[in-house]
Amino acid sequence: MKTMTIPSGPVTFPYVLKFNNINLYLFATLFVALDIAVPWLCHWIHPLAGPTFLPMFFFILMAGLLFGWRMGLLVGVLTPIVSYGISGMPVAALLPRIIVESICYGLFAGCFRESFNIGVVWSLIGTLIVGRIAAGLVTFIIYYGAINPADVMWKALQIGWPGVLIQLAFLPLVIKLLETVLPSIGLLNEK
């Protein structure tokens, strides 16, 4: 775990926010808003920009990696549901798979980092694998016999590989930057 010393004391990342901490809900609101706005912008630019660059998952992963499994779980649950309610995206047919995948991404990013003390890169790789497996299982359960879940997951990977690379390349850098900036601006002084 990375520790920084600031005037009010050390801040260790992931900076675990528990359910009784108001900062959990404030940061969750920010992450969910970003998770809705950025995919909307991507879809506005091109209909396949969302499935290609996977912007919704970026901030869900970031939430879990920075603030632990509770934040990841909350953002993972709320993002697809609120997004669907506001914009109709993701489409209803994909919503169950996206909800499960989002929950897994947020929850496991936080668990790997918080509970198992695994670094950002390995937490991210493990989380992406678990999330894709969970999405495949949900696809298998929901569409049993109607479609081949392996084909669905292969097509998602073929379209979404740029997003996975962006997550692997940029999330560790963004996390490192935020771990430096957030304590210095005083946003994490109170637990």
**Number of domains present in the structure of the chain:** 1
Distance between CA atoms of 63 and 57, rounded to whole angstroms?
10
- Going from the first residue of the chain to its last (191 residues), give the mean pLDDT of each consecutive group of 10, the final group possibly shorter: 52 88 94 94 86 92 97 98 93 92 97 93 96 91 82 87 95 94 75 45
CATH number at residue 82: 1.10.1760
List the beta bridge partners of residue 3. Answer: 12
Instruction: Give the pLDDT confidence score for residue 32 in this predicted structure.
Output: 97
- What crossing angle do the helices spanning 22-45 and 55-67 adopt, rounded to 10°? 160
Inside any domain, residue 45: yes
Instruction: Give the pLDDT confidence score for residue 8 in this predicted structure.
Output: 52
Distance between CA atoms of 20 and 37, rounded to whole angstroms?
27
The answer to whether residues 64 and 108 touch, using CB atoms and an 8 Å cutoff, is: yes
Instruction: Give the pLDDT confidence score for residue 57 in this predicted structure.
Output: 95
Inside any domain, residue 1: no
Residue 67: give the domain boundaries: 18-184
Give residue-wise pLDDT tens across range 123-135.
999 999 999 999 9
AA identity, residue 87: S
The pTM (predicted TM-score) of the whole model is 0.89
List the beta bridge partners of residue 10. Answer: 5
